[in-house]
Amino acid sequence: MISMKEFEIAPDPAAENLSERLTGIDHTGTEVSLSVVVERPLTLFLNRQEIVTMMTIADYPDYLAIGYLLNQNMLRPDDEITGIDYDDDLGVVVVRTMRETDFEDKLKKKTQTSGCAQGTVFGDVMEKFEEITLDPAARLKTSWIYALSKKINQQPSLYLETGAIHGCVLCEEDRPLLYMEDVGRHNAIDKIAGYMWRHGISPANKIFYTTGRLTSEMVIKTVQMQIPIVISRSGFTAWGVDLARQANLTLIGRAKGKRFICLSGAERLQYDADPDQVPEEDSKYKRKASL
């Protein structure tokens, strides 16, 4: 079993090329300066085949590429990756595998999702969804929800610095382990999927936390990664809830301060904390979350 420390990977708001300072004027005509996230196109190739062009901050192109291909069922869990080539100037990442691949038919049928920066899923993305059984014995203590929210809220991030980005965090009990950010929450979750695959991290006993909406795409990706619990600061879509109920995924949304709503998988919840003892969320974080 791989032991991971809290925030083994965490955002670095000061990292070069992820944000830049811009000046403008506010509602009073006063000049202001603020940090703005930088997004760039990244074209993904699987062997010789072009798959998709994504808008991303491009901080972990290798994990993003692997996670995307896994969550689109274009990579198998037992595939052998022989190389990953990334060209920053061209904005291209190439994943090379031992197995020959050809997804011409799948590429013809794709759907643009409701995700920020226009996520894309291909027509057969549901092909394994109904085959997956999420761990019915997994549990989520309400004390973990409150602890995770506090720790993640206080962690320096582009989310707090710029407001125009989403974060996804892989957690275990009350410990945040991997914190990835991107302009689209689907990219952030794919980075975590890629990291987990590359480092042999099991989804057992894991929890997903996200700053973004719980859409159908987020639910599908979480289920495909076999993580039984997802928590979001934001709300739900009806299809996302329907899919979560089909898969018995525990779906927690609007988790801010002492409040949260569960619309699926409530049998995993253990109410071990008194909400009246949980402080209200810091106003600074509320303002950033609304941007």
pLDDT tens for each residue of 79-92: 999 999 999 999 99
Every domain of the chain and the residues it spans: 140-289
Helix, strand, coil % in the chain, rounded to nearest 5: 30, 30, 40
pLDDT at 140 over 80: yes
DSSP class of residue 266 equals G
Q: Residue 250: phi, psi to the nearest 5?
A: -75, 120
* CATH 3.30.360.10 applies to domain 140-289: no
Q: What is the pTM of this model?
A: 0.89
**Which H or E element spans position 159?**
helix 158-162
Other CB atoms within 10 Å distance of the CB of residue 28:
6
Q: For 161-189, what is the mean pLDDT?
A: 94
Q: Residue 121 pLDDT > 80, yes or no?
A: no
* CA pair distance 91, 35, nearest whole angstrom: 23
- What local confidence, expressed as pLDDT, does residue 162 receive? 87
Mean pLDDT of 55-83: 94
The pLDDT-based confidence of 112 (bands split at 50, 70, 90) is very low
Angle at 115 between CA 259 and CA 290, to 5 degrees: 45
